[in-house]
């Protein structure tokens, strides 16, 4: 007689049936009766651990019921894969079970558990709306997840899920005024005069340890971002805000130094609010290496779960998030050694998303993968060869080569940037008209730049005494060859390719460049400390030209993102005027003038700006890529229950 539904063993608190392994269970149950008077129910993962606790809190249940004898290793019959639940196939079952029973009753209890565990987990687990796992194939492991301490792109993507801003830009990425901004931590805001902005914190907002988010957190965050001990790369973007205070526990007040069109944008875009009660006691000079950065507690739609060094970072949806439960239950960033490996994982269905495919070949391969959907969106990254204008290891002195403006100009004119882009990126790349990406509204291809002119480049070098005096094919001056090193991260195939192409084009005018392929963390350390000649770097733009250019190309960025220490007082003056211009047309004219000024100085060779193309598994719905931050809207993505695959159902 068939067992009724009430007689069937249940798993995980009685939510999923194990009836699919009934035949296997019957054999095991009969054998178990030989060593126990009463049969025990098979165990599933949810019975062994309390699923309501975090991974750090998991503890075995029923410890008193287990006498914990010494467990000897068991030899199992070889398992095999099937389309249904994974079972342990025992042949012949009687002989094997008898042997096990003779060795240890406890060992047999473990066999019983394992035999049913696979079936229960595969058939059970998360199967409803709000389930799902999204695995991102990331190329670089971030140094920390503490927002003010890093501008690493992967860290920023993860921080989008953990830490909220007061408000955020919409899909239009309009940075002027406040009408296109979406409330996040701030429930509402108003202006109190021309220089004072008042935010009202949503009273429902909570840190994930249960504490309320308050205006004290906002004040603390602003002061931390502006503290030289923290050395935040975002500090230059906040220089027009005089102070932040708290009017009461849920009211934060911003006071500006001057009036300008992007006041609201500066107040909300550059800072992710931090938990003062958890960070106040941490010395700020230690923030970059603080344990909080490896085990953060946020207020966002996802909670931190685990960080496996050199492997992955995992987040889980916060079902109590005050703005609504996220659509996908788990997010995993899996670290890979290079872009080709990351792309291959997505194509092989081992990961679900690669947000930047970068090259035409990768795009075509992704298009051929039947399970992937392709999403083009505006690029927000530009790549350049940075010239260090100060002596490596001694920023008080000029660089012996690149402290000379004409040497930088000559090297820039020696590079056929248009041909390089066409040969490497095809339609996916453009030569940027300065240090900006296509995301920024001031992009214009007719902005004046130095031309590709090898003859003029050679004349300029000769004019300054750089000639091939010894006939070895390399120019020299006072016995010093015109030679330098190019730093490039070993994880970036495209940048390594560009380094070789630049090396060839420099050689054509008598310049020797040696390529140093190093780990990304080493490149970051070398460039950050000023210990380099040149480096191929990428910059991720936010929607405003003012904040990105100020951060990376002005005096305010010294000690931060202005690694090459470029400084031109005239350029700084034009930038300040452009930021403060009350009308868009006036600002656009000034920005054009600023870009032409920096192009003439050649603090770097602006090589390419990418058009972004992402690949996402087709089972994922509501996919939106915001141009400035592809991960900004991840909490709205979802996987319908009828499209769930095995990794979506896993209970962790």
Residue 566 has pLDDT above 50, yes or no: yes
Q: Which DSSP symbol is given to 125?
A: S
**If we measure between CA atoms, which residue out of 123, 237, 266 comes closest to residue 650?**
123
Q: What is the mean pLDDT of residues 424-440?
A: 96
Q: Is residue 206 part of a domain?
A: no
Q: Is residue 435 part of a domain?
A: yes
Q: Is residue 173 part of a domain?
A: no
Structural domains in the chain (count): 2
Residue pLDDT, tens place only, 548-557: 999 999 999 9
Question: What does the pLDDT read at residue 652?
Answer: 63
Residue pLDDT, tens place only, 257-309: 999 999 999 999 999 999 999 999 999 999 999 999 999 999 999 999 999 99
Q: How far apart are CA 449 and CA 185, in angstroms?
A: 43
For tokens 């129910």, the residue is 41
Residue pLDDT, tens place only, 193-231: 999 999 999 999 999 999 999 999 999 999 999 999 999
Mean pLDDT value across the chain: 85
| pTM to 2 decimal places | 0.78
Q: Is residue 529 part of a domain?
A: yes
- Domain with 42, as residue range(s), is 10-123
Q: What is the mean pLDDT of residues 394-414?
A: 97
- Final residue of a structural domain among 94, 123, 152: 123
CA torsion through residues 230, 234, 240, 245, sign: negative
Q: What is the mean pLDDT of residues 237-241?
A: 96
Q: Is residue 554 part of a domain?
A: yes
Residue 130 class from Cβ within 10 Å (0-12 exposed, 13-18 middle, 19+ buried)? middle
CA count, 13 A, side-chain hemisphere, 37: 0
In sequence order, which residues have a C-beta less than 8 Å from that of residue 93 and are 6 or more positions away? 27
Residue 44 has pLDDT above 70, yes or no: no
Q: Is residue 648 part of a domain?
A: no
**If we measure between CA atoms, which residue out of 169, 381, 191, 195 comes closest to residue 270?**
169
More confident residue, 590 or 93: 590
Query: Which H, E and C letters describe 521-574, residue by residue?
Result: HHHHHHHHHCCCCEEEEEEECCCCHHHHHHHHHCHHHCCCCCCCCCCCHHHHHH
CATH number at residue 588: 3.10.105.10
Question: What does the pLDDT read at residue 124?
Answer: 57
Q: Is residue 542 part of a domain?
A: yes
- Final residue of a structural domain among 104, 123, 142: 123
Residue pLDDT, tens place only, 369-389: 999 999 999 999 999 999 999
- Final residue of a structural domain among 68, 101, 123: 123
Q: Is residue 319 part of a domain?
A: no
Length of the chain: 652
């Amino acid at each position: 007689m068939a067992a009724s539904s009430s007689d069937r063993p249940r798993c995980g608190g009685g939510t999923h049936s194990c009836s699919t392994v009934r035949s296997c269970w019957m054999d095991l149950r009969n054998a178990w009766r030989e060593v126990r008077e009463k049969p025990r129910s098979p165990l599933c993962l949810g019975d062994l651990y309390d699923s309501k606790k975090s991974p750090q809190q998991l503890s075995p249940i029923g410890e008193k019921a287990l006498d914990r004898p010494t467990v000897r290793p068991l030899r199992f019959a070889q398992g095999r894969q099937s389309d249904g639940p994974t079972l342990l196939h025992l042949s012949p079952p009687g002989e094997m079970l008898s042997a096990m029973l003779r060795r240890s009753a406890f060992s047999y209890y473990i066999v019983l558990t394992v035999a049913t565990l696979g079936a229960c987990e595969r058939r059970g687990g998360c199967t409803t709306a709000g389930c799902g796992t999204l695995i991102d194939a990331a190329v670089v492991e971030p140094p920390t997840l503490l927002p003010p301490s890093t501008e690493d792109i992967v860290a920023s993507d993860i921080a989008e899920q953990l830490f909220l801003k007061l408000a955020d830009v919409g899909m239009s990425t309009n940075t002027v005024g406040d009408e296109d901004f979406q409330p996040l931590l701030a429930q509402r805001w108003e202006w109190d005069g021309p220089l004072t902005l008042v935010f009202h914190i949503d009273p429902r907002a909570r840190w994930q340890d249960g504490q309320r988010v308050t205006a004290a957190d906002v004040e603390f965050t602003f002061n931390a971002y502006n503290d030289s001990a923290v050395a935040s790369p975002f500090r230059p973007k906040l220089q027009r805000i005089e102070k932040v205070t708290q009017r009461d526990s849920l009211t934060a007040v911003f006071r500006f130094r001057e009036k300008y069109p992007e006041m609201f944008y500066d107040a909300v875009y550059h800072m992710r609010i931090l938990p003062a009660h958890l960070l106040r006691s941490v010395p700020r000079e230690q923030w970059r290496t603080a344990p909080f950065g490896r085990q953060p507690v946020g207020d966002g739609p996802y909670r931190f779960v685990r960080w496996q060094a050199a492997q992955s970072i995992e987040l889980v949806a916060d079902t109590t998030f005050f703005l609504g439960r996220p659509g996908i239950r788990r997010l995993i960033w899996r670290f890979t050694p290079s872009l080709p490996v990351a792309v291959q994982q997505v194509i092989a269905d081992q990961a679900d998303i690669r947000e930047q495919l970068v090259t035409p070949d990768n795009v075509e391969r992704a298009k051929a993968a039947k399970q992937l959907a392709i999403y083009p969106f505006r690029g927000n990254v530009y790549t350049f060869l940075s010239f260090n204008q100060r002596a490596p290891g001694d920023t008080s002195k000029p660089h012996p080569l690149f402290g000379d403006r004409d040497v930088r100009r000559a090297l820039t004119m020696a590079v056929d940037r248009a041909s390089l882009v066409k040969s490497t990126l095809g339609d996916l790349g453009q030569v940027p008209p300065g240090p900006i990406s296509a995301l920024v509204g001031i992009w214009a291809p007719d902005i004046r730049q130095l031309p590709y002119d090898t003859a003029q480049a050679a004349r300029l070098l000769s004019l300054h005494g750089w000639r091939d005096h010894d006939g070895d094919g390399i120019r020299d001056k006072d016995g010093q060859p015109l030679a330098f090193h190019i730093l490039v991260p070993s994880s970036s195939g495209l940048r390594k390719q560009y380094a070789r192409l630049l090396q060839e084009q420099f050689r054509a005018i008598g310049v020797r460049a040696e390529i140093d392929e190093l780990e990304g963390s080493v490149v970051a350390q070398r460039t950050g400390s000023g210990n380099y000649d040149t480096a191929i770097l990428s910059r991720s733009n936010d929607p405003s030209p003012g904040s990105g250019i100020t951060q990376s190309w002005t005096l305010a960025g010294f000690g931060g993102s202005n690694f090459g220490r470029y400084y031109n007082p005239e350029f700084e003056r034009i930038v300040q005027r452009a930021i403060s211009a009350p009308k868009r047309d006036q600002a656009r004219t000034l920005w054009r003038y600023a870009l032409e000024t920096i192009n003439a100085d050649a603090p770097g060779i602006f090589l390419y700006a990418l058009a972004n193309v992402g690949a996402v598994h087709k089972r994922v719905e509501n996919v939106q890529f915001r141009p400035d931050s592809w991960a900004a809207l991840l909490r709205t993505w979802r996987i319908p229950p009828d499209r769930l695959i095995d990794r979506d159902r896993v209970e962790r």
